[in-house]
Structure 1
Amino acid sequence: MAVIPQALSPIANIIDGIIPDNLLIKFQEILIRSGMYVKASEILTLAFIASIFIGIIALVVSSVAEIDPIISGVVGFLIPPVLMGGYIFLMMERRVDAIEQTTPDFLRQVASLLRAGVGLETALEDVSKHGGGPLNDELKRAVIEIKIGRTFDDAIMSMGERLKSKNLDRTFRMILEGRRAGGSLSDVIETVAEDLRAVLALKRERKANVMMSVMFLIIAAIVAAPFALGMIMVYSGFIESLGKPNPLLGAAVTAAGGYIIIHSVIAGLLIGIILYGSAKKGVKFAVPLAIAAYGIFLLVGKFGILVVGG
């Protein structure tokens, strides 16, 4: 499905030639995991054009508001890819969550078909033909892989690997181990389905319990710290305008901006630890938090000075 006009196709072709194939393939897999079935080069083209457009607007605004044009241009250029990355990450998390929530019902259907005498591969294909949603899309892909020669075990395990879901990876491993061990596979699948349902319920409860901590970190990162330091800079600038020059004012602004960025990055990493138990996943929160916080800091300082000066 094309998402860009025909006139922009040459730019997409240039991006296809510049970016290494392995990176494009990885990004394409990320788009598929998020449910966006479009070419990676086309999405990157849209982000690049939007970055140039927003960057130019930021430069124009910086000349009017007397803000550092380099910082404004860089921030404006980074806004579209950061927003695009955040949107893709959100869609990916929603898709994985939707698949996890529907997996217990899918397993119960497979167990019922097994009790009726249907083989596991046939049961998987029968279930994939009915209903819709992201889980059915993944099942259809697994069925096609099996038909073209991939082993059943590899096709099933690749679903968990593609979705980066520990719950699904654990679930499929348990099913395959039960299949190898013999016995009543339908009972094993029923037990796995109930276990996954309990795990997902615990996951929802845990997320609800930590949301207050997450909101506190977000507010502290993009509201409290930028506003407080911005107003301090406004006050310092006002005192200087009264004839009491402060030689450290320029250095203080730079130090305050650096502190806000570091504070936002740390807050993002803490959010990753709280939600996922991994600081690495917090990078997805740290970058947009840092950009938003620094932007608010600049706005508070600039418009605060205008208000005080007025």
Structure 2
Amino acid sequence: MNQFYILSDYFENKISEKHLNKLQDFLLSGGISISSTNILSLLIIAIFTLEILLLILISIFNLNYFLLISPFLILPSLISYILIKKEQRINEIEQSSPDFLRQLSAILRVGLSFENAMESISTYGQGPLYDEIKRTILEIKMGKNFDDAWYDFVKRLDSKELKRVFIIILEGRKIGTSLSSVIEDVSNDLRDMLALKRDRKSSVMMPVMFLIISAIIATPFSLGMVSIYSNFIVSLGKSSELIKTAVIAAESYVIIHSILVGFIIGLILYGDFKKGLKFSIPLTIVAYSIFYIISNFAGSLLIF
């Protein structure tokens, strides 16, 4: 435990507050409330411990030293997990927003101000959208500028649709228009946009599933069999540079294919290659794991 706190203090002193805050915001977007310095310390300790355990297992069972790379996959796996949880959070916020806006419009019609209406709704609402509203209201009470607080709220939502909606509302408040009618209109527009978004996602799920099956089943299995055949040839004493190159090429193809499939899925679902990163990481880990298992253990099972 002393080493844990020493590492936490080290990161806190060596990494700038700006970068630590960015990391903390990223962790919170995935629902991880552990402090950024603590998560870095946990990662270092976990990787170091797993490396020691793997060295022991490799020496006992004569396994491939390539396995020592696997503990470092914790970091990309964590990033992928956070990105997926962030996407789920955004979806949950988007789905709850139309009903929230209708409630806000109804309360404004009663005669409450925008500030009081938002605070009133946040007191009994549940979910990530209401949590963000509570955070914004708390920031305003602590002295933050009203407009800055709400524009920061819009940034944290990280949704193009909601950003457009709330900017319209905030701009309408500035120029003094009837907010209740504006909010009701944007609520209806948002509901229609989300319905179209759901229809678009459902229409592309078949090719997405085909790509996933190709990445984690078809490709690693077929190339794993190539590796088994190569090992069989080597066991007969007929090894050559071509055989060794074939195994390396198969490993490389599995990794590259999985990464590209992830980016293609991101392009299909969101129209953005960058959003495919959260698919590329888990697909690559799963695909290579299947390839490794087939390459190293399936041959002995077939012989048995």
The two structures have a TM-score, normalised by structure 1, of 0.89
1:219 aligns with 213
One-letter code aligned to 1:269 = F
- Report the Cα offset of residue 89 of structure 1: 2.1
- Report the Cα offset of residue 60 of structure 1: 4.0
Gaps of 5+ in 1: none
Q: Does 1:264 align with 2:258?
A: yes
Gaps of 5+ in 2: none
One-letter code aligned to 1:25 = N
> C-alpha distance in 2, partners of 1:8/1:63?
28
After TM superposition, the structure 1 = structure 2 runs for residues 55-204 of structure 1, keeping only pairs within 5 Å, are 55-63=51-59, 66-69=62-65, 71-75=66-70, 77-204=71-198
> C-alpha distance in 2, partners of 1:179/1:270?
41
SS of equivalent residue, structure 2 residue 252: helix
Counterpart contact for 1:128–1:139, Cα < 8 Å:
yes
- Report the Cα offset of residue 243 of structure 1: 4.3
User: Out of 286, 294, 304, which is 1:292 matched to?
Assistant: 286
> C-alpha distance in 1, partners of 2:61/2:291?
14
SS of equivalent residue, structure 1 residue 129: helix
1:34 aligns with 30
SS of equivalent residue, structure 2 residue 52: helix
Counterpart contact for 2:258–2:280, Cα < 8 Å:
yes
How many residue pairs get aligned? The number is 304
Counterpart contact for 2:20–2:37, Cα < 8 Å:
yes
- Report the Cα offset of residue 64 of structure 1: 5.3
CA RMSD of aligned residues (A): 2.2
- Report the Cα offset of residue 27 of structure 1: 1.2
> C-alpha distance in 2, partners of 1:260/1:64?
29
One-letter code aligned to 1:78 = F
> C-alpha distance in 1, partners of 2:300/2:60?
12
SS of equivalent residue, structure 1 residue 150: coil
One-letter code aligned to 1:46 = L
Counterpart contact for 1:102–1:135, Cα < 8 Å:
yes
Identity among equivalent pairs (%): 44
Counterpart contact for 1:236–1:249, Cα < 8 Å:
yes
- Report the Cα offset of residue 44 of structure 1: 2.3
